[in-house]
Amino acid sequence: MSRARNRLVVRILVFAAIVLAMANSLVYYTRVDLTERRIHTISSVSRELLQGLEYGVTITYYRSSRLADRFPEPHEISDVLDEYATVAGAVDTRVVDPSRLERPETVEALGVVPQQLTVTEDGERRTAVVYSGIVIEYLDRRAVLPFVFSATTLEYDLTTTIDDLVRDDRRKLGFLLGDRTRTIEQSYQLVGSELARMYEMHLVRPAESIPIDLDLVLVTDAHRLWPDEIELLATYIDEGGSVLLTLNAVDVELANGMRPRAVGRSPAHGLAERYGITVGQALLLDESHNEITVEEVSAGLRVSRAYPYPHWPVLLTRYTSDEHPVTARFPGLDLYWPGWVTVDPDLPGVQIIAASTPHAWLMDEPFEINPQQSDRFVRDAEETRGQYGLVAVARRPTGAEGRVAVVADADFLRDDLLQATGSAWNIEFAASLAQWLSHDERLLEIRTRATRVLTLSAVADPQQEATLRFLAQAVNIVLVPSAVLAYGLLRLRRRHRRSRVGEGPT
């Protein structure tokens, strides 16, 4: 057999092997997720739920082709649904383009919310109605994710929805407003909307007994409740209920010129102490902090100026508990004129899960909070410098397992302050606390998988951020160009040497 024929046979065999390998990959394949915490892989919690299904689940993704043709997100969502179907044979996933239905508007009757998309077709700008919603069905029960355009939290949304359908029940959360001048709609709309996705919401009146079928109660401005109202909370905890207390050491109202008022010891402080958590009576300031924007009059014009404001601490990941499920994957937390907490070390089940930096300090009366008088902020710093607890949790030591969480700041969920600092992670943190309080550590693991921010803007320590920025600039502006230049000069020198050798005597 000639060499040419041998080469032809080898090529045919190699081509056949490639074809067979490709065909084999349609049946047998694997995938590797190299991201931190494997955030693109279905978690073990979801796998256990799906593989334990007694009856089939149908997941229908109503996705407009116009949306899928222009954006990658719908395809990422489809990939997640495919993995759900792969994990469990009881899961049937479908992708349906509503525009191909006889009556596309029928998907709206299922709860899928239409969105408007501006598209350019044939040189003309048009407005198209598009859909990207998911309908989940189990037996005769149905749930809807009205509009989905990101795969970041999709696993959490799908798994919790399926879990609710299987149990045929939604967890219940009570919202108790200690400040009677506020409403959820006016002051807590942002966190209320997020929690309503997870829980069946109930407004609890301060003087009413608390239904034991509530999985947890979120109490804002707990320091404003009367003693008999606090006793109702204590009874609820004794019967196995869980409570999140937010309370201040100092009340500061933006509407009255930011005049501070010391809260003093309230019945809510006494309730926290029953579970080993003591809330201090001083303001906490920290070197890791946000800015505050103040309107000033300059040359007859009103201008806005930002001031560094240590009264608004920014909590850092390295000063949170990496063992507790709430802070194991800490998303971030900003506080506003907080107090501080300590815990009883001899009491089991109580711990601080989030603290200030070691460079924080306290301020006693008279409270100096005017951002334009920053020289007064460090008045008590030398005597009080150190690290202080800011969020503490506790389990009821005996009897029914009630749980308590205390945040030394009653303002960290207010809409106006969240919008002033762009602190969306406060809502994420509150939702994580709610899940721990309602004994949902399993689902909490899914929720917090993809919350870590890896950008330089996430570094809240000013000194560390300055160091990282300097290193980044040094590498990109000096080191990389210098390396390229040195490599070019080296190549030029080598070519010059070769040309001189070529010109030598023959």
Residues 155 and 246 in one domain: no
pLDDT category at 116 given cuts 50, 70, 90 is confident
Regarding whether 241 and 155 lie in a shared domain, the answer is no
Q: What is the pLDDT of residues 341-375, one digit of tens each?
A: 999 998 888 999 999 999 999 999 999 999 988 89
- Residue 447, pLDDT > 80, answer no
| pLDDT at position 457 | 46
| Residue 135, pLDDT score | 95
pLDDT at 16: 79
Q: Are 161 and 86 within 8 A, CB to CB?
A: no
% of the chain exceeding 90 in pLDDT = 49
Q: Is the confidence at residue 249, as pLDDT, over 80?
A: yes
For residue 500, being part of any structural domain is answered with no
The residue-averaged pLDDT of 398-423 equals: 90
Residue 231 and residue 252 in one domain? yes
| In a shared domain, residues 465 and 383 | no
Q: Which run of H or E residues covers position 391?
A: strand 389-395
DSSP, collapsed to helix, strand or coil, labels residue 489 as helix
The C-alpha atoms of residue 257 and residue 21 are separated, in whole angstroms, by 73
CATH number at residue 47: 3.40.30.10
21 and 43 inside one domain: no
Q: What is the C-alpha separation between 377 and 284, in angstroms, rounded?
A: 11
Per-residue pLDDT, 198: 85
Number of CB atoms found within 10 A of residue 281's CB:
17
Residue 506 has pLDDT above 50, yes or no: no
Judge if 391 and 276 occupy the same domain: yes
CA–CA separation, 458 and 226 (whole Å): 40
Give the DSSP letter of residue 210.
P
Residues 357 and 406 occupy one common structural domain: yes
Going by pLDDT thresholds of 50, 70 and 90, the confidence category of residue 184 is: very high
Mean pLDDT, range 443-461, rounded to an integer: 55
Q: Which among 428, 440, 52 has a CA at the least distance from the CA of 216? A: 440
Q: Of the candidates 132, 162, 192, which is a domain's last residue?
A: 162
In a domain, 502, yes or no: no
List, for residues 285-305, the tens digit of each pLDDT value. Answer: 999 999 998 887 766 678 888
Residue type for 379, please?
R
Asked if pLDDT for residue 34 goes beyond 60, the answer is: no
Does 268 fall in a domain? yes
How far apart CA 336 and CA 315 sit, in angstroms, is 11
Domain assignment present for 501: no
Does 119 score more than 60 pLDDT? yes
In a domain, 482, yes or no: yes
Residue at a domain's end among 111, 141, 162: 162
Quote the tokens at residue 455.
């950008």
> Is the residue at 504 inside a domain?
no
Shared-domain flag, residues 126 and 223: no
* Domain that includes residue 415, residue range: 170-452
Residue 455 — very low, low, confident or very high, per pLDDT cuts 50/70/90?
A: very low
Stretch 162-190: mean pLDDT: 91
Tokens of 379: 């008045």
* pLDDT value at 418 more than 60: yes
Q: How far apart are CA 151 and CA 157, in angstroms?
A: 10
Same domain, residue pair 289 and 429:
yes
Please, what is the Cα angle at 351 between 349 and 354, to 5 degrees?
150
**Number of domains, the chain:** 4
**Shared-domain flag, residues 253 and 300:** yes
- Pairing assessment for the beta strands 341-343 and 91-96 based on DSSP bridges: unpaired
Q: How confident is the model at residue 450 (pLDDT cuts 50, 70, 90)?
A: low
Structure tokens at 460: 């809240």
Whether 312 is covered by a domain: the verdict is yes
What are the Cα distances from residue 341, in Å, to 1, 18, 278, 281, 388? 88, 65, 5, 9, 7
Query: Is the domain of 266 the same as that of 343?
Result: yes
The mean pLDDT of 3-11, rounded to a whole number, is: 74
Q: What pLDDT does 437 receive?
A: 93
* Residue-level pLDDT at 305: 87
In a domain, 425, yes or no: yes
| Structure confidence at residue 242 (pLDDT) | 95
Q: Which residues contact 441 (CB under 8 A, 6 or more apart)?
A: 325, 435
Last residue of a domain, one of 162, 184, 219: 162
Q: Does residue 451 surpass a pLDDT of 70?
A: no
Strands 200-204 and 216-220: unpaired
What whole-number distance in Å separates Cα of residue 345 and Cα of residue 148? 45
Split at pLDDT 50, 70, 90, the class of 439 is confident
CATH code, domain with 232: 3.40.50
* Mean local confidence (pLDDT), 317-340: 91
Same domain, 22 and 86: no
Lowest-confidence segment of 11-20, 200-209, 351-360, 497-506 by average pLDDT: 497-506
